[in-house]
Structure 1
Amino acid sequence: MSDPKPTPVSRRSSAVLVAAAGVLIAGYLVLRPYGDADGGETLAAAEAFSSTLWIASHLAGAAALVSLAAFWSLQTSGPLRWTGPVGVALVLPYYGAETFALHEIGARALAGDPDVLDLVAAVRDNPAAVALFAVGLITLAVAGIAAAISWRRAHRPGRAAGALLPLAVVAALFLPQFFLPPAGRMAYGLVFAAAAVYAAITAASAGRDTTGPSPVGRRSAAEPSRVRQG
């Protein structure tokens, strides 16, 4: 059974969702304080954790993954439609701890209790939390690949057939980017945004292309008129 083509309305919604995901990921990785790059037990890490930008950037990252999961879901049919929502549901608890627990730890450390920084590793390395986070990101990667394949089937042949492949590949590398240095993570965010904007433009264009009569329809409608005039 072939995948159903999205309606024009869903294509417009898809374009908004994927563009938002790209902008939010870029904001997350570019604006995120990187004082913890050399470890979470340093004064620089405490300053990063306690920053307002720490909370804002991580919330942007979480919102980006929600938008991305919704986008993948709109492009897919059958059981695979649920891989995106399931993946992001597994990821969000870790983001919550990273966002709010580390913020409170950093603020307490700067207030005169530096020993509290010993809890950073416990928060970040909790086995259950790390396992859920990794499985969730892998599930999101599967959702992206499934969506790219579904889109390709729905738009083949045509220039737009491979439009989601760059974003699916870049999104699948979201887990490895955590091990890059700050400059690498920021560059990854910008590449992600570029792939997302490309996908958004293609999704919007595909929607416009299908809202009016096809060129074949216009030609066939005009031919009887020419015959009558002749």
Structure 2
Amino acid sequence: MTVPRSSLVPSFASSRARLGSAALAGAGLLFLLYPLVRPYSDETTLDGARAIASSAWVASHLFAMVGFILTALGFLALHLVLDGRLTLPAVVVTWVGAGLTLSYYGAEDFALNVIADRAVRENDASLIGLVDEFRYGPAAIGTFAAGLVLLGVGAVVAAVAVWRSGVLRRWSAVPLAAGFALFIPQFFGTPALRIAHGALMAVGGLWLAAELWRAGRIGSVEALRR
């Protein structure tokens, strides 16, 4: 059986492809766990405070944070495998976006958890007002929005690079790019819509991971035949 040259990954890139595949698969699954584990409640009430003070809140946001990191690593592997003109900009933009986003997510996870825990212990719903003061502070929300926009741009550029590469299936990076492009709008959706968005991210991460793994396997087999 002859393997088309356009579908081959150089043998030295096979291990990178597999590591990138694992990173993207992990990211996709973590982005699904994020809305599945996250507790939902009216966050202006003590019930909302109990949700934010819970271990599920901390775990779910940690899932998302690790997902951003794994996505950045997966895109680096994609660049090393495809070595195209668009892949490096995708990596740089994604890494900057992840850095900006993680600063907000860290505070959302740990700082709000402390505030909510104090509100529950003191039975004082007025403390929950500090949650929105953080979330919608100009610097905080501006950094967060900029980070997510850059992540979306990086994912779209990566999808274009995959489309043009001739190495991976053209559509394989589109669902993940769509998921990142919809990351900001999904915050305004219902819990069901947020979980659906997580499912889209999982499908996107797993599909691109499978394509990277396939490309790495084909490259290894071809290297053995030479």
TM-score, normalisation: structure 2: 0.85
8 Å CA contact 1:75–1:150 kept in 2: the answer is: no
Tell me the distance in 1 between the aligned counterparts of 2:148 and 2:201.
15
- 1:179 aligned counterpart, secondary structure: coil
1:65 aligns with 2:71: no
Structure 1 residues not aligned, in runs of 5+: 222-230
Equivalent residue for 2:184, pick from 161, 175, 178: 175
Structure 2 partner of 1:211:
220
Structure of greater Rg:
1
Using the TM superposition, give the Cα deviation of residue 79 of structure 1 relative to its aligned residue in structure 2, in angstroms.
4.1
TM-score, normalisation: structure 1: 0.84
8 Å CA contact 1:73–1:84 kept in 2: the answer is: no
Structure 2 partner of 1:97:
107
Q: Which amino acid aligns with 2:98?
A: V
Structure 2 partner of 1:224:
none
Structure 2 residues not aligned, in runs of 5+: 1-8, 80-86
- 1:152 aligned counterpart, secondary structure: helix
| Count of residues paired in the alignment | 208
| Higher relative contact order structure (alpha carbons within 8 Å, sequence separation ≥ 6) | 2
Structure 1 partner of 2:137:
126
8 Å CA contact 1:46–1:106 kept in 2: the answer is: yes
**Higher mean C-alpha displacement, 145-154 vs 81-90:** 145-154
Tell me the distance in 2 between the aligned counterparts of 1:213 and 1:70.
26
Structure 2 partner of 1:82:
92
Tell me the distance in 2 between the aligned counterparts of 1:16 and 1:133.
27
1:28 aligns with 2:31: no
- String of CA shifts for 1:44-87, please: whole Å, max 9, x gaps: 21011110110011011111011112222332344443111111
Structure 2 partner of 1:226:
none
- Going from structure 1 to structure 2, the CA distance change for 1:20 and 1:204 (only over 3 Å counts) comes to same
- Going from structure 1 to structure 2, the CA distance change for 1:194 and 1:79 (only over 3 Å counts) comes to closer
Tell me the distance in 1 between the aligned counterparts of 2:128 and 2:179.
33
Structure 1 runs, 4 residues or longer, greater than 3 Å off: 76-80
1:52 aligns with 2:52: no
- Going from structure 1 to structure 2, the CA distance change for 1:163 and 1:88 (only over 3 Å counts) comes to same
CA RMSD of aligned residues (A): 2.0
Structure 2 partner of 1:225:
none
8 Å CA contact 2:94–2:150 kept in 1: the answer is: yes
Using the TM superposition, give the Cα deviation of residue 25 of structure 1 relative to its aligned residue in structure 2, in angstroms.
0.6
> Matched residues, percent identical?
36
8 Å CA contact 1:8–1:207 kept in 2: the answer is: yes
Tell me the distance in 1 between the aligned counterparts of 2:144 and 2:160.
25
Using the TM superposition, give the Cα deviation of residue 103 of structure 1 relative to its aligned residue in structure 2, in angstroms.
0.6
8 Å CA contact 1:84–1:139 kept in 2: the answer is: yes
Tell me the distance in 1 between the aligned counterparts of 2:102 and 2:77.
20
Tell me the distance in 1 between the aligned counterparts of 2:196 and 2:89.
34
Tell me the distance in 1 between the aligned counterparts of 2:34 and 2:88.
32
